[in-house]
Chain A
Amino acid sequence: MALVTIRDLKREYHQGDFVVQALRGVDLDLEAGSFAALMGPSGSGKSTLLNIIGGLDEPTSGSVVVDGRDLATMTPSERADMRRMRLGFVFQAYNLIPVLTAVENAEFVLVLQGVPPAERRARAREALAEVGLAGLEDRRPNQLSGGQQQRVAIARAIAPRPAIVLADEPTANLDSTTSHELIDLMRSLNRDAGVTFLFATHDQNLLDRVDRVVRLVDGHIEEDRLVGDAVAEH
């Protein structure tokens, strides 16, 4: 069974008399171990889709099953528990707590999970090493570059070993070289550690770095294809 299964997902937003159809019937299956990019123009519904998969937003209709659980049957606090225990998140900005050091930020989800201090510290250091930040554990976010900050956010997301990491435009604030480095990092975490990634991006140049591209236009999937090595593997 797929890690994420979405059927006929619709999401409408009401703004006064206005109805915005952010998602107009989306079907999607995502296997564990995927490295998939959500692409599409601004306003096409990428964030909406990621938020719904992450249990941060609720669909108007349709079904969403994540990690074997139908989100429609879950209460908000159950969804919060699922986010904490099973999902990783990386956002475009404001990911890190400015007053905590890199290792403390990387540790934060483990703190919320109630992992004992010694263990969580070790796992956070390990995760920082995996994202290439060994030696910078005690820096505060404002002592790190934008790319390094996003790496800390990735370390925080992967430290609890989640079923999937959802990343909404993690490279939007980075220059192209740094963006590519970050995607390459995610790619290698996917290959080497088996972390499943689904991330939204605008950047067409990333096309050759992913396994699968899901292109959203105006709230529905216009294109869903495997690329690069993944095509051959199939």
Chain B
Amino acid sequence: MILTLAIRNVWRNGRRTALTVAGIGIALALMFTSMAMQNGAWNMMITAAIQATAGHVVVQADGWQEERDPNLVLQRSTEVQQALLEAYPDAVVVRRVFLGGLLSSPTGSQAVAVQGVEPVREAELTLLDDQLVDGTWLPDDRAIVVGQRLAEILAVELGDKVVLMAQVGTEELESRLFRVRGTFRTGNDTLDAFAAFVPLAAAQELMPFDDPAHQVAVVLPSIGRGKLDTSRAAQALAGRDGLEVLSWSEALPMLEEQQRVDTQMNVYIFVLMGLIVAIGVTNTVLMSVMERIREFGVLLSIGMRPRMLAGMIVLETLVLGSVGAVVGLLLSIWPIGYLTTHGIDYGDLMANNSAGGNVPIDSVLRAHADVPQMLQLAVVGALVAVLAALYPARKATRLTPVEAMHHH
């Protein structure tokens, strides 16, 4: 009966209730949608970053993660790769070399960051082979693929020769001739102006080591951004010295940190929105309490306990909040559904966001709904509404019947 009463009381002033429910619903729907978009963005950035510059598990020469010293190489890297392939049969395992150097054409030169990659295996991971504006992805040993902006700086076109000079290990500068076989445009200025890719074999020729690589990366099929146990890799490589075995979150610590900061920001924004909604709800409840004071006086007179009256008010708000939460969930279905299937094409804007590290990234951002998280937030939303009722409910418990009946 009290629940029935509470539910009916909520709909007593239909317009006010509808407005409040709409307020809660819209605020929640906005939160749900922005959460889903952010989830999607992080999924995408982390997947891209993992695939392009790291892996779910990365194996590097001990200390490389800290120092990025090109002399810290894994030698006989093919053996490491084999061992990892046996440990992770489903995974793509790639070897990579990261070099700084000077790339020169007849008309100019530019400092560049060169990645030596295994053309076929890397193509399974990188988005670059699809983002080529011109040419082919590393068709032969002498091929180099450069950013479009870099090609403009060097004034080179497909088929033109360029010379890469790098210094690793020895005092001497090593240099090697390449032909531009492809240009890419990611929209990320750093990548487009300073990055170049060459076959691993060619990069290795510039380095005075035995089958060197800076990194052997294991990219698992669909593990997302969860925590990862690297012990399988460590086991597979037991007996080899001078290695570091890292999980993606260790290899890309900035990403983790940024994600944390982003989540923190979310919390602030949500608390702020929650506060605004709570103020609105408090106002609604207070109004509905004030205009019923005389009625409450009668209820208290006929023997209703003040606590029960307060309970009824809280219950009313719980009903209000729950309806608001359900409306919020319903309202968010369409936008999240649309953003999940179609996404938003951020174009250069997204690609220029270097939050995920300087890695090529899909320009279409798709939402990814985390349903348990949404439900949690919906419950929190309803509870915030209840919290907002505590003050008016407390006021009601202080009423004496006679005062209440004489209230104007």
List A residues at the B interface (Cβ < 8 Å): 51, 54, 56-57, 77, 80-81, 83-85, 87-89, 91, 93-95, 97-100, 104, 107-109, 111-113, 117, 156-157
Contacts and interface: CB of A to CB of B under 8 A. Distances in A.
A104 B12 contact: no
B8 A80 contact: no
A109 B303 CA distance: 7
A112 B302 contact: yes
Nearest to A140: B8
Majority SS at the chain A contact face: helix
Contact of B301 (A83, A99, A104): A83
Contacts of A99: 5, 8-9, 11-12
B305 interface: yes
Contacts of A97: 5, 295, 299
Contact of A81 (B12, B303, B402): B303
Nearest to A94: B294
Interface string B170-195: 00000000000000000000000000
A192 B305 CA distance: 32
- Chain B interface: which size bin? 20 to 34
Contacts of A57: 402
A156 B402 contact: no
A209 to B, nearest CB: 25
A94 B298 contact: yes
B377 to A, nearest CB: 31
B328 interface: no
Contacts of B300: 80
A91 B300 CA distance: 13
A54 B301 contact: yes
B304 A112 contact: yes
Given A98-B12, A104-B1, A111-B2, A84 B402 contact: no
B403 to A, nearest CB: 10
A85 B402 CA distance: 19
Given A97-B295, A98-B12, A56 B5 contact: no
A74 B15 CA distance: 44
Nearest to B10: A99
B380 interface: no
Interface string B1-33: 110110011011000000000000000000000
Contacts of B295: 94, 97-98
Which among B4, B301, B302, B304 has the highest number of chain A CB atoms within 10 Å?
B302
B401 interface: yes
Contacts of A93: 294
Given A91-B405, A111-B2, A156 B302 contact: yes
Given A81-B303, A111-B1, A112-B303, A95 B9 contact: no
A22 to B, nearest CB: 12
Nearest to A54: B301
Nearest to B7: A99
Contacts of B401: 56
Which among B295, B301, B303, B402 has the highest number of chain A CB atoms within 10 Å?
B303
B402 A80 contact: no
Given A111-B1, A111-B2, A95 B305 contact: no
Given A56-B402, A94-B294, A94-B405, A80 B305 contact: yes
B297 interface: yes
Nearest to A76: B400
Contacts of A104: 1, 4
28 contacts: A56-B301, A56-B400, A56-B401, A80-B300, A80-B304, A83-B301, A83-B302, A84-B302, A84-B303, A87-B303, A88-B302, A89-B301, A89-B302, A91-B298, A91-B405, A94-B298, A94-B405, A97-B295, A99-B5, A99-B11, A99-B12, A100-B5, A107-B1, A108-B1, A109-B302, A111-B1, A111-B2, A112-B304
